[in-house]
Structure 1
Amino acid sequence: MKTYVLNPGNDLSALQLTERPRPEPGPREVLLRLRAVSLNYRDVAILRGTYGAFSRPLVPVSDGVGEVVAVGSDVQRFRVGDRMIPSYVPDWIRGPPREDTARRRLGGPLDGLLREYACVHEDAGIAAPPHLSDAEAATLPIAGVTAWHALFTQAHVGPGDTVVAQGTGGVSLFVVQLARMAGARVLVTSRSEAKLGRALALGAAEGIHTGTHPDWATRVRELTGGRGADHVVDVAGGDGVARSVEAVRMGGTVTLVGFLESATVRFDIRPALSRVVRLQAVSTGSRDDLEALARALTVHGVHPVVDRVFPFAQAPDAFAFLESGAQFGKVVITFP
């Protein structure tokens, strides 16, 4: 079978197409023929060597969807012909994360899904929502589950709440869609007027141009009558976390989910203490979170936002496009 691997190196030349034997499923495994995978910033960071220190060669990419083409002798949850979305963290079925269930992750340290076939334990995936295309279904495990876990598993966002989504990448647009689904008001920040316009069309109540309002936390307070937002989902990290703290209300929540600006966070903790701001870190979620997200999308008929779809042969171009930051939503690679 054809597969991409990351060889030693920290640029796109490290991503190489090669051949490996087609795997055979064990007794409780299914064999997937991959149909689509979606990229996350994590995939670029692993390629660049700024996230983790995983052994290479490594098959990259954690998120995808495939068709079950064979099942092991003891498999009960899936049949040949089903569409399956593998869980990014295959051992995390439910409950809070634990050392023993959160260690193994697709795309590093485990081999990922940028290959034609993969064996997946039947407990380490869910049935793809029938209303979603392959490209849409492939976006759920990291971006969708991270937004779901941040808003509903680790918090209780509901009608009338105000949520701030930073930027218009995959996690942020899932925040817009899911928070709106729950009846919340969503404010979106971006440096692009065009992307803010698209976010408003998606359901955001207000767009904050960070070029016009570099101190965007002040604008959040203006738009909330001086109170501040109930919840900020921070994808940037770095010094901007201080603005996220400033933007939330007394007793509000800042969820840290990324490090697009910097992996190092430095800020004066006193405003967080005096206003009892809750800071929490979220790194995706369990299979139960993935199933709950899928059910919610199905009930509400919501479709994830896919910006561009690249063919398998152009996977390096997909990585380069994601790294450019030009995307609005998810970047997907499909298989022939």
Structure 2
Amino acid sequence: MKVMTLRSPAGLDTLRIEERADPGDPTPGTIRVALHGSSLNFHDLGVVTGKMPSADGRVPLSDGAGIVEAVGEGVTEFAAGDHVVSCFFPDWQDGPPVIGDFSRTPGDGIDGFAQAHVVLPATAFTHAPKLYDSVEAATITTAGLTAWRALVADGGLKAGDTVLLLGTGGVSIWALQISKAMGAIVAITSSSDAKLNRAKALGADFTLNYRTHPDWGRRIADWTGGRGVDHVVEVGGPGTLGQSIDAVRIGGHISLIGVLTGRGGQVPTAALMAKQARLQGLIVASRRDQQAFVRALDATGIRPVIDRRFPLDRLADAFAFEMSGEHFGKIGIEW
């Protein structure tokens, strides 16, 4: 069967299609899935560019969705013909976080979903949202579920809350859609006025170009009448955290989920203490959280925003497009 692999030294030019043996029939507790879609994440980009080292010959992509072809003995949750989507942490089923690395994350510590078929434990998947195609379904595994946990599972988002989102990538646009579906009031930043206009069309209540207004944290606080926002989905890291603290209300919640501006830096501890805000790091969520997210998507009818779709054999081109920063929302891969 066809498989996309990443050869050493990692780089877009070492992504290649290879032939590997078919995984065969499912064993007890497993399911065989014909994969048809994936989506790109910043984590995947780190792997394929070598910033997050992986094994030679690794199959990339942490997101995968497709159709169950057969189930092994003892599997009752799924049946042949079901549409399923993968889990970012296949071993984290429920409860508080128990994993702090990517040693068992598909596309990083273990082979991912850039391939035609897989046979994996049934617990490595959930049902996909109804009416989604496989590319749409794959967008929930990492980006969508991260936004859900930040705002709902951890943040306790409720109608009338104010939310600040940074940028217009996959997590932020998912967070915009989730927030508006739940009755929240949303501010979003970008360096592109065109992208801000697209965010307005999706329901953003306040938009701000952070290049035009480098003091965006104070301006967001002013937009709330000086109170500050209830939630910040912080994807930038050290280069933006200080302004996110400026923007958040006293006792508010900052979800630290990204490192787009670097992996280390100073934290304005005095400002954070004065705000008495909760700064919480997080990496995606559990399978149980994903099941709750799928139920919410089925109830609300939210559909993901996918900027472009690429065939699997143009995966390098898709990553190059991601590196350009021109995308709005998610980048899909289909086959």
Question: TM-score, normalization: structure 1?
Answer: 0.96
Alignment of 1:18-167 (within 5 A): 18-24=18-24, 25-51=26-52, 53-99=53-99, 103-167=103-167
Ranges in structure 2 where 5+ consecutive residues have no aligned partner: none
Report the AA paired with residue 37 of structure 2: A
Cα displacement (A) at 1:8:
0.8
Give how far 1:187 is off. Answer: 0.3
1:200 is aligned to 200
Do the aligned residues in 2 keep the contact of 1:91 with 1:102 (CA within 8 Å)?
A: no
Equivalence for 1:189: 189
1:260 aligns with 2:249: no
Find the aligned partners of 2:123 and 2:12 in 1 and give their Cα distance.
Answer: 34
Post-superposition offset of 1:100: 9.0
Amino acid at match of 2:121: H
Deviations 1:94-145 (A, max 9, x none): 1111149975211110100001111121122111112212221110010011
Whether the 8 Å CA contact 1:239–1:267 is kept in 2: the answer is no
SS of the equivalent of 2:218 reads helix
Aligned twin of 2:334:
334
Q: Which amino acid aligns with 1:252?
A: G
Query: 1:238·1:259 contact (CA, 8 Å) conserved in 2?
Result: yes
Q: Distance in 1 between matches of 2:56 and 2:275?
A: 46
Q: CA deviation at 1:74?
A: 2.3
Deviations 1:232-257 (A, max 9, x none): 11111122111111110111111111
Counterparts of 1:198 and 1:120 in 2: how far apart (Å)?
39
Offset at 1:287?
Answer: 0.8
Task: Quote the offset at 1:265 in angstroms.
Answer: 2.8
Greater shift, 91-100 or 144-153, is seen at 91-100
Q: Deviations over 1:187-216 (max 9, x none)?
A: 000000110001011011011111211111
Query: 2:324: which partner in 1?
Result: 324
Q: Distance in 1 between matches of 2:213 and 2:156?
A: 29
Contact 1:92-1:102 at 8 Å conserved across structures? no
How many matched pairs? 334
1:14-43 CA-to-partner distances (Å, cap 9, x unmatched) read 212111101022211111111101110100
Larger CA deviation: 226-235 vs 264-273:
264-273
| Contact persistence 2:315–2:333 (CA under 8 A) | yes
Separation of aligned partners in 1, 2:86 and 2:120: 7
Q: Distance in 2 between matches of 1:258 and 1:187?
A: 18
Say whether the 8 Å CA contact 1:12–1:316 is kept in structure 2. yes
Let me know the Cα RMSD of the aligned residues: 1.4
Q: Residues 294-315 of structure 1, C-alpha deviation per residue, up to 9 Å, x if partnerless? A: 1111111110111100112211
**8 Å CA contact 2:170, 2:329 repeated in 1:** yes
Partner Cα separation in structure 1 for residue 130 and residue 224 of structure 2: 38
**5+ long unaligned stretches in structure 1:** none
1:55-103: per-residue Cα shift (whole Å, max 9, x none)?
2221100112111112212221111111110111101111111149975
Q: Is the 8 A contact 1:234 1:258 kept in 2?
A: yes
Output the TM-score relative to the length of structure 2: 0.97
Contact 1:165 / 1:188 at 8 angstroms: preserved in 2?
yes
Q: Percent identity?
A: 40
Residues 311-335 of structure 1: per-residue CA shift (max 9 Å, x gap): 1221111111111111001001101
